[in-house]
Amino acid sequence: MSLVPEGYGDLVDLIGVEVRATRLRAARAANTELVRMNWRIGRLILERQQTQPWGSAVIRRLALDLRREFPDMTGLSATNLQYMRAFAAAWPTEPISPRSVGKLPWGHIRTLLDQLNDPTLRDWYADRDAVNGWSRQVLEHHIATGLHRGSAPHRATSSTISTRLTPTRPRRSSRTPTSSTSSD
C-alpha cells in the first residue's frame, strides 16, 4: 500500500509551477515600483537643480542623509542618485512604467544611459530588451556589436554610441541590483 496517492507527483509539479510564476510576477512588480521610484527621485533632483544652483556636493550630502534615513536600503549612493537624475532627464515624460524602459531592471537602465547617447537608440534597445528578456551582458554585447545596424528603420552613426561616459553622466558600476532594492 502506497502512502502517496496517484497523481501526487503531478500535483507537486503544478504547485511548483504556480509558486515560481507568482514569485516571478512579484519580482517584476517590485522591480517596476523601484524603477518608478528611481525615476521620481531623479525627477525631484532634476527639478531642484533647475531652480537652485547646486551640484555634486549636494548630491553627496543628499546620499548621506538618505542613507541615515533609510539605513537598510541600498541604492541611495551619490552615484546612484546621479543615475536617477540622468534617467529622469533621458526619459522626461511620465508615466515611465508602461514604456519598455520602465520594465527593465535598474542595471539595464544604467547600461543604456552609460552606452547610448541617442534617445532613439536607447528606446530601440530598451524595447528589444523588454521583449526578449536579455541579461545585462547580452544587452551590452548587442550594443557593442551594433545590433541596431542590422534592423531598419534606425541607422546609427558612430557619434550616437558612447564608448565612454561624458562628464554629464555618472560613472558606470558593475554591480547588479536585486529585485527588492536598487544598488550602486
For residue 100, give the DSSP letter.
G
CB 124 within 8 A of CB 148: yes
Q: Is residue 42 part of a domain?
A: yes
* pLDDT for res 137: 95
Q: How far apart are the first and last CA of the chain?
A: 58
Q: Is residue 182 part of a domain?
A: no
Residue 107 burial (10 A CB sphere; 0-12, 13-18, 19+): middle
- 30-50: b or e for each residue (b if 16 or more CB lie within 10 Å)? ebbebbeebbebbbebbeeee
Q: 93 pLDDT band (50/70/90 cuts)? A: confident
Name, in order, each residue with C-beta under 8 angstroms of 161's C-beta and a sequence gap of 6 or more: 115, 116, 117, 118, 121, 143, 146
User: Could you give the number of structural domains in the chain?
Assistant: 1
pLDDT at 98 over 50: yes
Q: Is residue 81 part of a domain?
A: yes
Q: What is the pTM of this model?
A: 0.73
Please provide residue 63's backbone torsions phi and psi, each rounded to the nearest 5 degrees.
-60, -45
pLDDT at 91 over 80: yes
Q: Is residue 54 part of a domain?
A: yes
Q: Is residue 29 part of a domain?
A: yes
Q: Is residue 168 part of a domain?
A: no
Q: Is residue 14 part of a domain?
A: yes
Q: Which domain holds residue 149?
A: 8-160
Q: Is residue 40 part of a domain?
A: yes
Residue pLDDT, tens place only, 124-133: 999 999 999 9
* pLDDT for res 56: 81
* pLDDT for res 38: 96
For residue 171, give the DSSP letter.
P
* pLDDT for res 53: 81
